[in-house]
Structure 1
Amino acid sequence: MKRKLVAAIGIAGMMVSIAACGSDDKGGGSGKGADAKELTVWLTVDAQNNWPELVKAADDAVTKKHPGLKIKHEYYGWPDKNAKLDAVLATDKAPDVVEMGNTEMLGYMVKGAFAPVDAAKFTGSSAWLDGLKASVTYEGKTYGVPYYAGGRVANWRKDVFAEAGVKSTPKTYQELTADLDKVQKKKGDKFSAWYQPSRDWYAAMSFVYDAGGSIAKEEGGQWKANLSSPESLKGLNAYKAVLDTYMHGDKTKDEADRPIVYGQGKSGMIFAAAWEGATAADPKNDKVGKLADKIENFVMPGPSGKNMPVFLGGSDLAIPVKSKAQALAAEWINAFTGPSGQKGLMAKGNLPNNKTDLATLKNDPKTAVPATAAESNWFVPMAPGWGQVEKAQVLQTMLQSIGTGKKSVEAAAKEADAAIDKVINTK
């Protein structure tokens, strides 16, 4: 997905309460608004531009059951969607269905903006991908339905590694580092065998979770930072080793322009969102020449000996608590995210919202890598104050200190834990 998912922070002026949920209808939401005459669905331009036929199919399925129902669609770009949503949620004109980036969900769930739903009444919910299921769950209740997913993979320059005598992608982390060592030795210290921006917390936390650590843990209803645990420190030290050994670019940068940097030809590998390799190979970014023919995705192995757990990005669909058509909204979501919808989304290059469909993608060489990588995934702590942690860029600050050598891993982690503990339980 060609977007960066960010947590919803500070929902201005929105003081709403969670509506009661009857959960008697077959759609999965409350019985409220089952006889409504109009349904308003907010989606991003991704759906409008890339799979409008899937939207229409869901409309047709619902209107067939409810003759005379009028379904209105509004489409928004990611940068301005939440500001418009925040404004309308403060009125009585809330949409009935709204698409959210999966890390945007938490802030709205904490504030009570979305109505709870009965997950069991949505087709395929028992097999939802773990990372997406976590994104719609807060304090034991479900407040949305996963829509589709996008994961992270390793991508390397076949030509660069072949020059160093490497002919095939690695199956273990030890093989990977041995291959990287060969490239680094051949290319010298002005070349990044692995271009890994220090502040990229999605990659760094994959190392943490691979080592058995975590950003924070819940104990007795309270969340506590966990970056200083032995397991988390092991992961952070493995990440630092990558930065020290293979990353010879600016160690104060984040990952925002990684595809552009990769396209400039001064690095041999990235660990990134699945779309980034193709973006680097876009003619406007490709300074190598025919880069598309020279790059290859593979499943990132972890130091633990297992596949590296990856951050699972994606979109969810939620029903605002102020919706006057919650039952119909749930029906529409079920039609849109059900088996036929997932099949259509996969045909467009997306990962499905569930493990059953994901398994089928592993049999297709075109989709086997991202599908396999997505099986092992992690998600952010579903704590009430997590949005404040992201807003303060606590993890990025810690990682920059580690990457630049300003602080030791232990000192940087301890400082980050203290900053996290101050806000993570605050609504």
Structure 2
Amino acid sequence: MKRKLIAAIGVATMIAGVAACGGDKKDDAADGGKKAEAKSITVWLTVDAQNNWPELVKAADDAIIAKHPGLTVKHEYYGWPDKNTKLDAVLATDKAPDVVEMGNSEMVGYMAKGAFAELDPSKFENSATWLDALKASTTYSGKNYGVPYYAGARVATWRKDIAAAAGVTTTPKTYTELTGDLDKIQAKNGDKFSAWYNPSRDWYAALAFVADAGGAIAKDEGGKFTASLSSPESLKGLNAWKDSVAKYMHGDLTKDESDRYIVYGQGKSAMIYGASWEGGSAADPKVDKTGGKLKDNLVSFVMPGPSGKQLPVFLGGSDLAVPVKSKAQDLAAEWINDFTNSKGQLGLIGKGNLPNNKTQLAPLKADPKTEATATAAEVSWFVPTAPGWGAVEKQKTLQDMLQQIATGKKSVEQAAKDADAAIDKVINTP
């Protein structure tokens, strides 16, 4: 599914007076101290739901209306690029929606600002087995402020025809096997070909090597976050990533991952590591420039890491949250549960998504069509849930560090040290 998480979180001016929440006191008095139930709720989702699974939205509406006759569920749909701008504006008023969809990496800044109401995980089906990275994305200072909606994993995808021409007939299971196979593919195709097209500014891929080596972007030390990209563990991961780029990436070293599937469709690379939809999108006749060779030759597999284990993935995906200014928080939470329960997750699986929980992920591992993505999703990492994480993303500190390393402008050690300094300036400031 072609959907890109928008990392920038513009929440600096939206939360004035945000602590005022809950029901109307006049309603309480009129009902003898019992809060009157809202007559309607407003749900904000992205156009993904509107275009790809409207029947699942309707099913959740029908379920809550059956329990609350007369309730009206209103929906508004937004594209990813403009959603947060509109959300920021409305959260500064008394007209906040009751449910809002957030990209998982967008959650941190809003939680830090107090924009979302705390939610009790026990009230949501499958919360005990939520995927690790999605659970982390809804947690701030030990409290839960959202419900995972769905997930998307990152996998390796390569062309079996190119691999076979280089004498490689099976997909690699270890990193040693992977690099050995890529060496053969690179040697066969020459230095104008990328055995692995790996854009240097793709921090989701590069930082997976850091996580694999036991490193982290930043560490929480008693409530204060300290950047740790220059730690020995992080440097080990960054060096492993640098080596792979130097050996197998012979494309533009200043690019990010946004058009990776388009570049892959040009036929000048054997492998990519990215979102699970990218291979299929590259094989689309509108994108494939190889004369149709991609369609029947793409194979996806779990990316092995240098540690000897599978490379931890940054899960793409969405969460659902209840703005603290919602006047119908209980109903909002109930709608979220109706939408994300096991039945709803089965519907999302049918649309090509991964579920929000490990229980329903397990059967997908037995299906050859979903085995790679489901297995990859089990081992994941997430960004620091720090007050200033949004500023780190907005400044593109990680992307700039990686480009400096890949192009040789700075050594790994110097680039990491400089990135740490930049991160430390903003990461603890809401």
TM > 0.5 fold call: yes
Whether the 8 Å contact between 1:8 and 1:106 is mirrored in structure 2 is: no
Whether the 8 Å contact between 2:254 and 2:403 is mirrored in structure 1 is: yes
Distance 1:251 1:136, change over 3 A: same
Deviations 1:305-355 (A, max 9, x none): 111000011000011111111110010000000010011101111000001
**Take 1:185 and 1:34, find their aligned partners in 2: how far apart are those partners?**
72
Paired residue secondary structure (1:209): helix
* Residue of structure 2 equivalent to 1:346: 349
Matching of residues 27-426 of structure 1 within 5 Å:
35-290=37-292, 291-426=294-429
Deviations 1:154-177 (A, max 9, x none): 000111110001001000000000
Whether the 8 Å contact between 2:22 and 2:328 is mirrored in structure 1 is: no
- Residue 17 of structure 1, CA deviation: 3.1
Deviations 1:242-298 (A, max 9, x none): 111001111111111111110001101001111111111111110012211111111
Whether the 8 Å contact between 1:213 and 1:235 is mirrored in structure 2 is: yes
AA paired with 2:5?
L
Whether the 8 Å contact between 2:22 and 2:326 is mirrored in structure 1 is: no
Whether the 8 Å contact between 2:6 and 2:80 is mirrored in structure 1 is: no
Whether the 8 Å contact between 1:33 and 1:327 is mirrored in structure 2 is: no
Greater shift, 52-61 or 171-180, is seen at 52-61
AA paired with 2:4?
K
AA paired with 1:354?
N
Distance 1:128 1:34, change over 3 A: farther
Whether the 8 Å contact between 2:156 and 2:301 is mirrored in structure 1 is: yes
Distance 1:34 1:353, change over 3 A: farther
Whether the 8 Å contact between 2:266 and 2:290 is mirrored in structure 1 is: yes
AA paired with 2:286?
K
Distance 1:403 1:8, change over 3 A: closer
Whether the 8 Å contact between 1:8 and 1:107 is mirrored in structure 2 is: no
**Take 2:111 and 2:17, find their aligned partners in 1: how far apart are those partners?**
11
Deviations 1:354-384 (A, max 9, x none): 0111111101111111000110100100000
Deviations 1:81-114 (A, max 9, x none): 1111111111111111111111111111111111
- Residue 18 of structure 1, CA deviation: 3.8
AA paired with 2:407?
T
AA paired with 1:4?
K
**Take 1:354 and 1:21, find their aligned partners in 2: how far apart are those partners?**
30
Distance 1:167 1:19, change over 3 A: farther
Deviations 1:26-77 (A, max 9, x none): xxxxxx9771111111111111111111111111111111011111111111
Whether the 8 Å contact between 1:33 and 1:324 is mirrored in structure 2 is: no
Q: TM-score, normalised by structure 1?
A: 0.96
Paired residue secondary structure (2:195): coil
Greater shift, 125-134 or 78-87, is seen at 78-87
Deviations 1:198-238 (A, max 9, x none): 11100000000001111110112100011111110000000
**Take 1:329 and 1:8, find their aligned partners in 2: how far apart are those partners?**
26
* Residue of structure 2 equivalent to 1:5: 5
* Residue of structure 2 equivalent to 1:17: 18
Paired residue secondary structure (2:7): coil
5+ long unaligned stretches in structure 2:
24-33
* Residue of structure 1 equivalent to 2:29: none
**Take 2:17 and 2:329, find their aligned partners in 1: how far apart are those partners?**
16
Paired residue secondary structure (1:103): helix
**Take 1:72 and 1:17, find their aligned partners in 2: how far apart are those partners?**
23
**Take 2:256 and 2:192, find their aligned partners in 1: how far apart are those partners?**
19
**Take 1:246 and 1:209, find their aligned partners in 2: how far apart are those partners?**
21
**Take 1:47 and 1:334, find their aligned partners in 2: how far apart are those partners?**
16
**Take 2:192 and 2:7, find their aligned partners in 1: how far apart are those partners?**
36
AA paired with 1:334?
N
Whether the 8 Å contact between 2:151 and 2:354 is mirrored in structure 1 is: yes
Paired residue secondary structure (1:234): helix
**Take 2:393 and 2:114, find their aligned partners in 1: how far apart are those partners?**
20
Whether the 8 Å contact between 2:21 and 2:325 is mirrored in structure 1 is: no
Whether the 8 Å contact between 1:18 and 1:114 is mirrored in structure 2 is: no
AA paired with 2:305?
G
- Residue 21 of structure 1, CA deviation: 8.6
Whether the 8 Å contact between 1:129 and 1:353 is mirrored in structure 2 is: yes
RMSD: 1.4
5+ long unaligned stretches in structure 1:
23-31
